[in-house]
Amino acid sequence: MLMSPGILGKKIGMTQVFRPDGQVVPVTLLQAGPCMVVQRKTPSTDGYDAVQLGLVENIKEKRINKPTGGHLKKAGVGGARFMREVRLKPGDDDLKAGDQVLVDQFKPKDKVDVIGVSKGRGFAGLVKRHHFGGGAATHGSMFHRAPGSIGASSFPSRVLPGMRMAGHMGDAQVTVRNLEVIDVVTEDNVLVVKGAVPGPNGGYVLVRRSKR
């Protein structure tokens, strides 16, 4: 069995399980794989060592655009719309295009990082976006959920980059590190990890072996 540094999947949802000692553990179920290696990047041709994985799904061929379809056909892979690269480090297995990556390479008590795109919240104010406390609610206060000062007048006479203000919230890549693998259901390609992962149910995620 070839070992890959990661696997692609979809978030199914959250539930809870009981440990043998009776402790309740909140978990997230991930539909992890099956994946295929679509392309192998090598230091000689690309300048770095990595594999491009594709999540094999039961989707119609017309749902995949022609450039992607040609890229998949070259590797002998079909039905993969979601693809991501995973870096290889010295000592990893020599994966090549067409190799299969399954969830059975993980086992309970492994530590993984899960990368996904958080839920979009639209335009949000300071209190919701940055957890500002806000001003007084009564006694004639006219400062409730306003931003307050965003800089000095005479110097530097501009708003400094990175100032926390209202704006677009969510819909950004988020990495949750060091999640414990609770269970692996190989026959259904399901990975059970402790805690929450970013994104909505049905959202794509990348699961990689923990780097820390």
Q: What is the mean pLDDT of residues 79-95?
A: 81
Instruction: State the pLDDT at residue 76.
Output: 77
What is the percentage of the chain residues whose pLDDT exceeds 70? 99
1 pLDDT exceeds 70?
Answer: no
Of the pLDDT bands very low, low, confident and very high (cuts 50, 70, 90), residue 168 is very high
The encoded tokens of residue 133 equal: 């406390």
138 pLDDT exceeds 90?
Answer: yes
Q: Is 7 helix (H, G, I), strand (E, B) or coil?
A: strand
2 pLDDT exceeds 70?
Answer: no
The pTM of this model reads 0.83
Q: What is the mean pLDDT of residues 9-35?
A: 92
Q: What is the mean pLDDT of residues 129-158?
A: 92
- The neighbour count for residue 110, using CB atoms within 10 Å, is 16
**In CATH, 6-120+175-209 is 1.10.357.20:** no
Instruction: State the pLDDT at residue 40.
Output: 87
Q: What is the mean pLDDT of residues 104-130?
A: 93
Lowest mean pLDDT among 38-47, 75-84, 130-139: 75-84
The encoded tokens of residue 110 equal: 């492994």
Q: What mean pLDDT is reported for the chain?
A: 89
Lowest mean pLDDT among 58-62, 120-124, 169-173: 58-62
Which residues sit opposite 54 in a β-bridge? Answer: 36, 83
Q: Is 63 helix (H, G, I), strand (E, B) or coil?
A: helix
- Report H helices in the chain: 66-75, 126-130
Start-to-end CA span in the chain (Å): 25
Please give the residue that has the higher pLDDT: either 204 or 63.
Answer: 204
Instruction: Give the residue among 6, 8, 25 at the shortest CA–CA distance from 16.
Output: 25
Domain ranges of the chain: 6-120+175-209, 125-169
CA 183 vs. chain centroid, Å, equals 19
Burial class for 169, CB neighbours closer than 10 Å (0-12, 13-18, 19+): middle
Q: How many helices (H) and strands (E) does the chain have?
A: 2, 12
Of the pLDDT bands very low, low, confident and very high (cuts 50, 70, 90), residue 129 is very high
